[in-house]
Chain A
Amino acid sequence: MLVAVAVAAPLLAPFDPTRQVGESLMAPSWSHPMGTDNIGRDLLSLVLYGTRASLAIGLCAALAALVIGGTIGALAGYRRGITEAVLMRLAELFQTLPVIIVVLFAIALFGSSFWLLIAAVALAIWPLEARLIYGQFINLREREFVAAAIVADLSTAHIVLREILPNALPPVIVQVALDASLAILIESGLGFLGLSDPNMISWGQLLFAAQDFLNAAWWMSVFPGLAICIAIIGLNLLADGLNEVVNPRAVRAAIGLAA
């Protein structure tokens, strides 16, 4: 549904979100259901458009983390030995760094832009994927069908990509959904600190501007905050649902939010 909102934002939004369409700090009314922000932009339109940036960052960062973490996890899990030791220690090293600090550091060094944000968030969350895939690979590599493939003299790439990976993916897909929600939270956090890319409309940015008007204009903080809540809860429910689909017999709980 969020995707639908993101795609349809231009149709749903009553105004151009970058335009000053009314007075500033107007309370919610029929013409501006969520009121206006501190420079007179329509908050409903801003929140709707914010869905795009937040979801794009969430999904892109989660997928990027999947690619990086997946490659490293697969290599470590399949190769073992030195490769395993080095790659997994590297993953652990990244895991010990607090996520938000890594991202803040990257932004302080390179400035803030959409792609850099994605890179920074991906950099911060890839070890989650790496560890998960690594665990799956260790487990699956000892299975008979892998031994059979090795005996059949299939290439390593074939064994990794065609034999093991499909079997390793189900729990990973669940993790991607959770990672996406984590990425949205990180972006909101950065936006709230005023460090997100100002050219993009995101929920965190809206909250940043709302900080000085908590008492004067509650709508500026409540609606973007609600949007973040809904997105995070939605993605977590999606992860639960996926978990049930891919692993219907599972009794144990889904992997929780790791940060």
Chain B
Amino acid sequence: MFSHHVSRHPSSLTIGRRAFPGRAFARSLAVVSLLLGGGWMSARSAETPKPGGSVVIAMDPAGLSILNTELTSLSPALYIADIWADGLMARDGAGKRVPHVATSWTVSDDGKTYTFNLRKGLKWSDGQPFSSADVVFTLTQFAKYNTYLSKIVPLITKVEAPDDATVVIALSQPLAAALDLFDKENFPLMPKHIYEGTDIPTNPANRKPVGLGPFMFESWEQGRSLSFVRNPYYWDQPKPYLDKVLVALIPNAQQLLNALIQGEVDWVQLDFSQIQRAQEAAKNGKIKVIKIEINAPERSSLDFNMRRQPMSDVKVRQALFLATDRNRINADAYRGLAFPATSAIPEQFKELNDPSVNYDKLYPFDPQKAAALLDEAGYKMQDGKRFSVELTYIATSPFDAIAKSLAAQWKEVGVDVRLAGLDSQIWLDKVYRKNDFDISLISLTGRSDPTLGVDRSFICNDAHVPYTNPTGYCNRELDRIAAEAGASPTPQRRALYKQYEEIVARDLNEITLTNAPTYNAVATKFKNLDAQFDIAFNEHPNWAEAWLPEDAR
């Protein structure tokens, strides 16, 4: 299925031949196919791309205030960053690393030294020259603001630029996910000449960015739209073919899809409540639904505040898991398009997930067993009720539906659930800053490696950082295993992650309910969409590949 791809990444790929775990892992993912459905494939031919035209993409702005994704990980900022920013490497649809600003990279035998060879003669979208100094600057100046890089910053012993086109990074110990951290999603490159000597968080360029991406920032009408125009200095000429990318800000999932169906916009990332309708609408051939096969896992999760009764009792947590009908939650809140998670390590990480630990077997939906376990824990049924807990969540889809499902299911075993559906900021403050909650519901991205997206839920955490373990759970043994797994080559990692899964499955400070894929929908009037959607994990289309035939403009 991939043979037809235009070779967008020329031959200079000379990745180090060492059995580096991340690479082996990436290779293993290459089996999965990329694209779903659609007879449009047959329409593809050897047409030459024609420059011109524009694409309108739409998203929920959800509090978008800055565009610089070194400083924010808000979804709309991440969607938009793919347009204007670029980084050393990206991923193709099979999860394999492909060169972007770096043409090649090598990893030393001990896994501690990373050498990146950069493209020569590159320019920023404002015409200023790009060099290895910019990469060094981004790593040394932005890392402290970047949620994901915080993992690697303490390990960095040296960042050097021996010449204009080479960067060498040395770590004090190997980190399996190091290359993941240097890809364009986690580490978008920022221009030194704009940021040097300024206060980085307040620099106006965070709202009017200068980057290396295929398009450059033109304007931002707050709450309505953003506009990006073709970047004449983009490294992969003659791309991009389109003249313009317009971002329409539409705050409602249904309206987003309506706009796409009516041809007012050309791309949306679909909310689960809308996927079936999108698939229905796709039958007319004007739009198509694309499933990103190797996505960053979206794990809907329940966090128990273990500082409080009765959540401090492991039997209560296990009983609540047994009382939860995850198939039903998948069917209702995700319209059957997600799947019940089997363990703490998401299934997308095929080389790391050990299927012998299986929540479906350990905690199948079994209200009787749950009731018995609650009796055993000393919470007897009195007047149809055992105890009350508060379940807090952000009052939007799909959490609203999941929370109401849980309330209905737990009521059957005598657990009274008070729902607290809150505004996202109030919820964040309550759960992560004040730890003033009983049980919290959220969906967490697993990113491209457990060390980046999963560890944060389980390892000891005293800091009040959003989206990191708010439960008060702290198990030094698990921390040790997580650290060791993060620094080991893939074959050893799996055995360690098996222990990891077992400990989490026993202690359950957090229950992973479902694991959800990512769906995009796009107008079929664009050509070369298969190359455009040859992406994985947290990437979104950058619109450098797609082009629009003249009769479709």
| Residues of A near any B CB (own CB < 8 A) | 18-20, 23-24, 38-41, 108, 111-112, 194-195, 198-199, 208-209, 211-216
Would A111 and B411 be within 8 Å (CB), given that A38-B332, A194-B421 are in contact? no
Which residue on chain A has the smallest CB distance to residue B271?
Answer: A212
A226, B323: Cα distance in complex, Å: 36
Give Cα A18 to B407, complex, Å.
8
Nearest-CB residue, chain A, relative to B272: A212
User: Measured between alpha carbons, how far is A172 from B446 in the docked complex, in Å?
Assistant: 60
- The distance in angstroms between the C-alpha atoms of A214 and B273, with both chains bound, is 11
5 more A-B residue pairs beyond the given contacts A199-B418, A212-B254, A214-B254, with a C-beta to C-beta distance below 8 A: A18-B408, A19-B408, A199-B419, A209-B400, A211-B252
Please state if B408 and A20 are interface contacts (CB–CB under 8 Å).
Answer: yes
**B276 touching A216, Cβ below 8 Å:** yes
* Given A199-B418, A199-B419, A211-B252: A194 touches B400 (CB 8 Å cut-off): yes
> 17 A–B contact pairs at CB < 8 A?
A18-B407, A20-B409, A24-B331, A38-B401, A39-B333, A39-B401, A39-B405, A41-B404, A108-B423, A198-B404, A198-B419, A208-B400, A209-B400, A209-B401, A212-B254, A215-B277, A216-B276
Q: Is residue B328 within 8 Å, beta carbon to beta carbon, of the partner chain?
A: yes
Cβ of B274 under 8 Å from chain A: yes
A211–B258 alpha-carbon span in the complex (Å): 13
User: A18, A19, A24, A111: which has the most chain B beta carbons within 10 Å?
Assistant: A24
Interface membership of B396, Cβ < 8 A: yes
The proximity string for B residues 321-349 relative to A, scoring 1 for CB distances below 8 Å and 0 otherwise, is 00000001001110000000000000000
B254 touches A194 (CB 8 A): no
* In the bound complex, CA of A49 to CA of B254 (Å): 28
Contacts A20-B328, A40-B332, A194-B396 hold; do A212 and B274 have CB atoms under 8 A apart? yes
Contacts A20-B408, A24-B331, A39-B332 given; indicate if A198 touches B252 (C-beta within 8 A): no
- The residue in chain A whose Cβ has the minimal distance to the Cβ of B254 is A212
B398 → A minimal CB distance (Å): 9
Interface SS of chain B: helix
- Which residue on A lies nearest to B412, using beta carbons? A19
Does the CB pair B409–A212 fall under 8 Å?
Answer: no
For B254, what are the chain A residues with a Cβ–Cβ distance below 8 Å? 211-212, 214-215
Inter-chain CA distance A87–B274, complex, in Å, is: 52
Total A-B residue contacts, Cβ distance less than 8 Å: 64
Give CA–CA (A259, B418) in the complex, Å: 33
A20 close to B395 (CB less than 8 A): no
Contact B404 A39, beta carbon cutoff 8 Å: yes
Interface string of B298-334 (1 = CB under 8 A from A): 0000000000000000000000000000001001110
Task: Give the residues in chain B near A195, CB-CB below 8 Å.
Answer: 395
**Does B397 lie at the interface of the complex (its beta carbon under 8 Å from any beta carbon of A)?**
yes
Given contacts A39-B405, A198-B419, A198-B421, contact A212 B332 (CB under 8 A): no
The closest CB in chain B to the CB of A41 belongs to: B408
Q: Which residues of B contact A199 (CB under 8 A)?
A: 418-419
B503 contacts the other chain (CB 8 A)? no
8 Å CB interface, B230-258 against A:
252-254
Which residues on A sit within 8 Å (CB–CB) of B403?
A: 198
Kindly provide the distance from the CB of B270 to the nearest chain A CB, expressed in whole angstroms.
Answer: 12
A74 to B258, CA, bound (A): 53
Task: Determine the chain B residues whose CB is within 8 A of the CB of A198 once the complex forms.
Answer: 395, 400, 403-404, 419-421
In the bound complex, how far is the Cα of B422 from the Cα of A194, in angstroms? 9
Which residue of the partner chain, among B277, B396, B411, B426, contacts A18 with CB atoms under 8 Å?
Answer: B411
Instruction: Report the Cα distance A11→B438, complex, angstroms.
Output: 34
Report Cα–Cα, A138/B454, bound state, in Å: 70
Instruction: For A195, give the chain B residue with the smallest CB separation.
Output: B395
In the bound assembly, the distance between CA atoms of A19 and B419 in angstroms comes to: 15
**Nearest chain B CB to A85 CB, angstrom units:** 39
Closest 4 CB pairs of A and B: A212-B273, A198-B419, A198-B421, A39-B332
Least CB distance from B6 to A in Å reads: 37
A213–B408 touching, CB < 8 Å: no
In the complex, A23→B412 CA distance in Å?
A: 17
Residues of B within 8 A of A23 (CB): 331
Residue of B nearest to A211 (CB): B254
Q: How far is the CA of A160 from the CA of B236 in the complex (A)?
A: 85
Question: Can you name the residue of chain A whose Cβ is closest to the Cβ of B257?
Answer: A215
Is B395's CB under 8 angstroms from A213's CB? no
Q: Which B residues, 271 to 291, have Cβ-Cβ distances below 8 Å to chain A?
A: 271, 273-274, 276-277
Shortest distance from the beta carbon of B217 to any chain A beta carbon, whole Å: 32
How near does chain A come to B438, taking the closest CB pair, in angstroms?
14
- On chain B, the residues within 8 Å of A216 by CB distance are 276-277
